[in-house]
Structure 1
Amino acid sequence: MTDAIFQASVGELALVRPGGSPGLRAWDAADELLLDAAATRLQPESRVLVVDDQFGALTLGLAGHDVCTLADSAVLPNSLAANVARNPGLSVNLSVMNWRSVPSGPFDLVVLRIPRQAAYLAWILRWINGVLADGGQILAGGMIKHLPDRSVEVFSEAVVTDEVLPARKKARVVVCHGGSALVREWPDQWKGYRLEGALSCRVEALPAVFARDRLDIGTRELLPLIPEAVARVPERGRILDLACGNGVLGLSALARRPELEVHFSDVSSQAIASVERNLSSLPGSPTVQLWHQDGVADEAPDYDLILLNPPFHEGGVVGDHIALRLFRDAARHLAPGGRVLMVGNRHLGYHRSLKKYFRNVSQKVASPRFVVFEASREP
């Protein structure tokens, strides 16, 4: 990781982007534009909320103010800590809240990175309406190419737009004040689908969760192999649904062998909250553990079976760097005789990547778009 210098109103900031592809910066023009807009609106007594800061640029750029940071991604806490350590002397609150543990308002200024998903943006704006102070403002910004479809409509339905600032370096910031729409009254807060078979229940998720209203086609390729894989897990064994999303893979494993211990891990706090909701629909009291984590936590135990449908994009960056990190973590946390069952897009060539971490990699199923592999450390 190489530090790069970010020019902010608090001075020069040395920032790094942990775990990303080499050469990627820890900030972009949207961060610059948001901080410039915030500087002209902040008062000494302002209480500020930063939502979905990416790697800490916004939080550090507002150092010295009363700032609370809230993020869906588990990447931010470690990134923020790494960047605070590179900039000693700044007054920064290292505590990062998430959607399972939200801060209380009121906030005078909300600085928001606009997400790529329109539904998640609609959810956030409605939630912000509930914590914004009277007369408070929202600064929402992002790179123009990453703004979701229907952005104008989403803003108009939830808040009142005061000004659209001139675009700069292909970034845009919108200045708003609160509206009357609240997230608890929004009918699209939860969406889902019914999965027939052993898991005969409705699986639901919040807006930040991938494929929340339909079964992902990659997961569809993997599901038929779960019964045989789960049957091979030893008595008192342990399963991990890694990058779990709404938890459909782990829930399917539990439905077949409810006596097993099943863990769920995802970088998104809304995904973990969705798994909590879906677990409540299962009978009995299964033994589970939830990890809001980027990959597998160092303190996590070893697993007899890891189920994985890895994401291949992080924000606007597409590639295999996330999958490689998950493969590495999975290999470190496999019990003796344990296996990884994973699905991936055929064009990504995961059979080559898997062989960097596992001695045995076999193809189980292939379709024109997807391939399912089983991997283990034993030959």
Structure 2
Amino acid sequence: MNRFTTSWGAFELARFPEDPRDRLRAWDASDTYLLEHLKGTGAEPTDLSGTVVVVGDRWGALAVALAGHRPVQITDSFLAQQATRANLLRNGIGGAAEAPVRLRSVLDAPPERIDVLLVRVPKSLALLEDQLRRLAPAVHPGTVVVGTGMVTEIHTSTLKLFERILGPTRTSLAVRKARLIFCTPDPGRSPSPSPWPHRYSLPEDTGEVAGLTVTNHAGIFCAERLDIGTRFFLRHLPRRHGARRVVDLGCGNGVVGMAAALADPRAEVTFIDESFAAVASAEATFRANLGPERAAEFLVADGLSGAAAGSVDLVLNNPPFHSHQATTAATAHRMFRDSRRALRSGGELWVVGNRHLGYHVQLRRLFGGCEVVASDPKFVILRAVKR
């Protein structure tokens, strides 16, 4: 946990789930820059009356600082929502009667009118486009629109997207490697609806799922095509494993769990991701190909942290190794640890990852050993059994 000192006050903030060993902060210079601008440091303060919407707030830093204005926070991240709740609580903000921050996912209906729109630029340009198009009907000529991000996150394509969908756009000078985006809504703009979700057929080298249709909402990993790691995983999944309860952990668009369900009609597959868009994609993919009657569960959650011990037979996992712009093994380690707790004795965890990440070291430490199922110059598939 760290102290976030701003012109709006000082706040104790942490990422979620909180880990005392994690040195990554719950904010960066772009959050500070935006809050300074809104407060009017060196200029007039921004009028924050009306409906304030904060899009893409990563760990709740913006929502906590602006809680006095009862903002609507829109995010694709379950962890961001949990971090916001926890950070509000640890700073004594809000009460039982009225929530100081209204939490919505990127797939929820946005407010009908937006008077202040604050956008934390996401890594995914597709997610930004989807959100701007969804929000555009609620923006009016008087709406204050300000984006923020680090200089490595704001590109010409980012500015063009704001300009094309909302109106004339300019950027600020860089301060502490962060920039602001200023956009003036143009009432003459008539942006088309979002082109997402995107659908495509799986290629021939994907085993039993070849030719089936995948549905991808904006923002999920490799939303426009199947990533090569998943493609490799699909060619080497366990067949007729006999597992009753299977978990596609970090499911993305759900093709791995769908393949497991096709391989064994008796399997009950649970799809879990912390991304609302990913779980919606997985459900749409699964239902389009296996129909409404096939048993399956779709959870937006912090991995297997809420699963009962000894309740799972097989976990299939392609763990992320980025947390926004930071490269970290913390998420994968938490997924492996929680998988071991959730697996029954004799249950298996199958993991695909880049060879250089060295997941075998963590798995041997947690499970007492692991074996290589398949490998190529870039990827390795590992199998660990709970003893």
Instruction: Give the structure-1-normalised TM-score.
Output: 0.91
CA distance in 1, matches of 2:190, 2:122: 19
* Correspondence list, 1:220-239, <5 A: 220-226=231-237, 229-234=238-243, 237-239=244-246
Residue of structure 1 aligned with 2:176, choices 144, 149, 169 = 169
From the superposition, tell whether residues 169 and 140 of structure 1 become closer, same or farther in structure 2 (CA, over 3 Å): same
Please tell me the residue identity of whatever aligns with 1:249: V
Task: State the AA in 2 paired with 1:18.
Answer: F
- The alpha carbon displacement at 1:300 in A equals 5.4
Match of 1:82?
A: 86
In 1, Cα distance between equivalents of 2:294 and 2:371? 31
Which residue of structure 2 aligns with residue 359 of structure 1?
A: 368
Distance of 2:275 and 2:191 partners within structure 1: 22
Match of 1:56 in 2: 60
Question: In structure 1, what is the Cα distance between the partners aligned to 2:248 and 2:201?
Answer: 19
**CA shift for structure 1 position 365:** 0.7
Who is 1:298 aligned against? 306
Q: Is the 8 A contact 2:70 2:102 kept in 1?
A: no
User: Contact conserved, 2:134 with 2:194, CA < 8 A, in 1?
Assistant: no
- Residue 282 of structure 1 aligns to a residue whose secondary structure is helix
Distance 1:175 1:149 in 2: 14
Q: Which runs of 5+ in 2 are unaligned?
A: none
Q: Counterpart of 1:261 in structure 2: which amino acid?
A: E
- 1:321 aligned to 2:330? yes
Q: How far apart are the structure 1 equivalents of 2:246 and 2:357?
A: 26
* Greater mean alpha carbon deviation, residues 276-285 or residues 343-352: 276-285
Task: Mark the CA change 1:181 to 1:170 in structure 2 (over 3 Å): closer, same or farther.
Answer: farther
TM-superposed deviation, 1:188 = 5.3
Q: Within the alignment, does 1:209 sit opposite 2:216 as a pair? A: no
- Aligned residue-pair number: 371
Task: Give 1:134 deviation, angstroms.
Answer: 4.4
Q: Which residue of 1 aligns with 2:14?
A: 16
Q: CA deviation at 1:361?
A: 0.7
Per-residue CA deviation, residues 30-79 of structure 1 (Å, 9 max, x unaligned), is 10122223334643632101111111110011121131111101111221
Matched, 1:369 2:369: no
In the other structure, the counterpart of 1:198 is 208
TM-score normalised per structure 2: 0.89
Could you tell me whether the CA contact under 8 Å between 2:144 and 2:184 is conserved in 1?
Answer: yes
Structure 2 CA distance, aligned partners of 1:116 and 1:194?
25
Is the alpha carbon distance of 1:116 and 1:333 closer, same or farther for their aligned partners in structure 2, counting shifts above 3 Å? same
Selected match of 1:99 from 106, 121, 126: 106
In 2, are the aligned partners of 1:191 and 1:212 still within 8 Å (CA)? no
- Label 1:298 to 1:188 Cα distance change in 2 as closer, same or farther (>3 A): closer
| Counterpart amino acid of residue 331 in structure 1 | R
Aligned counterpart for 2:280 among listed residues 258, 273, 283: 273
Instruction: Output the amino acid matched with 1:150.
Output: S
Rounded to whole Å, the distance in 1 between the matches of 2:67 and 2:340 is 39
Corresponding residue for 2:47?
Answer: 43
Map of 1:29 onto structure 2? 29
Percentage of identical aligned residues? 32
The 1:300–1:282 alpha-carbon spacing in structure 2 relative to 1, beyond 3 Å, is farther
| Superposed CA RMSD | 2.2
Residue by residue, what CA displacement relative to the aligned partner does 1:254-302 show, whole Å, maximum 9, x if unpaired? Answer: 2222332111111111111111221231244111111112322414572
**Which residue identity lines up with residue 161 of structure 2 in the other structure?**
V
Call closer, same or farther: CA 1:86–1:258 in 2, change over 3 Å: same
Amino acid at match of 2:271: F
1:111–1:139 Cα contact (<8 Å) kept: yes
Residue 95 of structure 1: CA displacement? 4.5
- Choose which of 123, 126, 139 in structure 2 pairs with 1:119: 126
> Is residue 129 of structure 2 the alignment partner of residue 131 of structure 1?
no
Give the residue type in structure 2 aligned to 1:52: G
Question: Deviation at 1:135?
Answer: 1.8
Give every structure 1 segment of 4 or more consecutive aligned residues whose post-TM-superposition deviation is greater than 3 Å: 18-21, 39-45, 89-92, 177-183, 186-189
Post-superposition shift, 1:230? 4.1
